[in-house]
Structure 1
């Protein structure tokens, strides 16, 4: 398991990736609509003037043709599916943010002075020493029992 700072950095990297993926999804799958209203139709005097200048390109002032199709990757979702995906993306971002907040809260802070940390390390060192002593005793007891079992098995073979 990685240390807390590495976990925190990994979470920030994952959060950045989630932000990018969310924005990409939203930009590709939203229902496109015009940001500004279309311009009003030209008056008849301007219309005649424009017709003489725009005979070469008759569709120059028109919106997209009705038969416009989206690239396969950019098809808009249904409103219900899009709203569901938005909620799910938001929940994922909130969950990752809470995970980051938890990792930050368990980091040693200013309130943990160097003396407190030394005292904690000394206490942990003492606990480790006790655990090693218990392990040594358990290994000695195991060797004793193995010797007894070997003696019993050797006695049965004779």
Structure 2
């Protein structure tokens, strides 16, 4: 599972894709209307596909509603991810203190690792000595 920041970036990317898909849905399936009596709708040529594939109003509106709900759901997911990011409820001092504590834990773990490496080397030396003594007999 990826970290929260990566999840947030992916969610924002998906939201942008949903915005684009919604725009293209509306652009492709809207009803052709004129704004004034002087406006005319140009007829589409027979050899070209129509620019607009008009849907019945109820189908178009249902599609818009579904797309709007999808956008709202994605936006809520983004808000949740933002609220779960570390540091939003902590002051700078709290964050610095947390970093110091983590550094101390890291130092302790590094000392333990060094001791384990030293112990491993000692065991290898003893094993080597034992193997050499066995070869002599």
The alignment's TM-score, normalised by the length of structure 2, stands at 0.58
Which of 91, 105, 108 is matched with 2:87 structurally?
108
Cα 1:157–1:70, aligned 2, differ >3 Å: closer, same or farther?
Answer: farther
Partner of 2:127: 149
Q: CA RMSD in A?
A: 4.5
**2:38 is matched with which residue?**
none
Question: Is 2:102 the counterpart of 1:124?
Answer: yes
2:17 match: secondary structure: helix
- Rg larger for: 1
Cα distance per residue 1:48-69 (max 9 Å; x no partner): xxxxxxxxxxxxxxx969xx79
Q: Which runs of 5+ in 1 are unaligned?
A: 37-62
User: How far is 1:93 from its partner?
Assistant: 3.5
Asked if the contact 2:87–2:95 (Cα under 8 Å) also holds between the matched residues in 1, the reply is no
Matched, 1:21 2:56: no
- The TM-score, its normalising length taken from structure 1, stands at 0.52
Query: With CA pairs under 8 Å and 6+ residues apart, which has the higher RCO, 1 or 2?
Result: 1
Quote the Cα distance in structure 2 between the aligned partners of 1:73 and 1:156.
89
Report the counterpart of residue 135 of structure 1 in structure 2.
113
